[in-house]
Amino acid sequence: MADLSLLLDVILKTSSATVKKDFVTCGLLNQLHQAIGRNFSKEFAVLLRKMLRVIEMLPISADDLYSVRSAHGALPDVLLQLTHNQDYDVRTKAQALLKKYPASTVTDPILLQQLHAPPQRRAATGFSPAVPNQQSAAQGLPPMPGTDSKPRVSRFSAPLLAPGVETAQL
């Protein structure tokens, strides 16, 4: 945690606008999103405040903020969760960032589609692979090589026999 705090201090003390832009293009927002997303508890309040200060000082737009996504959602979703944090400063900084970059100021058409699309949910059972031959036959495609309907036989599918014992003796 001390290392992260020192890195955030270096970023906060940077005064060059081109270096700040380089931080954004190198994926600093993605890294901050990952770090913030894992540390919501009160023990991390000092780091959360510092991370939010870094986001405030970066030269970003609403498009930059809303384009940062992970499996848990976009960066504004994480900021919205931070508005319910126990720490007062974290709550107010998160609210200020959401107010500074509202979704209505997004100009990227792809991001606008993502913002207005209903959330996609996975099936409750999780991953269920489709059978390739049935899927390709349904689409009118030839079967994929190596996916014929013959069962696979491996050396482990035969019963274990002692040396010299044949299957008729069993």
Domain residue limits at 104: 2-116
**Is there a domain that residue 130 lies in?**
no
Distances (CA, A) of 143 to 69, 116, 139, 150, 151: 36, 38, 10, 13, 16
Please list the rounded mean pLDDT of every run of 10 residues in the chain (170 residues). Answer: 86 93 92 86 89 94 89 86 92 95 86 72 52 51 58 60 59
- Is 44 part of any domain? yes
**pLDDT in the model for residue 9:** 92
Judge if pTM exceeds 0.85. Answer: no
pLDDT score, position 88: 94
Give the CATH number for residue 96: 1.20.930
Residue 123 placed within a domain: no
Question: Measured between alpha carbons, how far is 113 from 116 in angstroms, rounded to an integer?
Answer: 5
Q: Does residue 142 lie within any of the structural domains?
A: no
Residue 74 lies in a domain: yes
In a domain, 70, yes or no: yes
Total number of domains in the chain: 1
Q: What is the pLDDT of residue 27?
A: 92
Q: What is the pLDDT of residue 36?
A: 87
169 lies in some domain: no
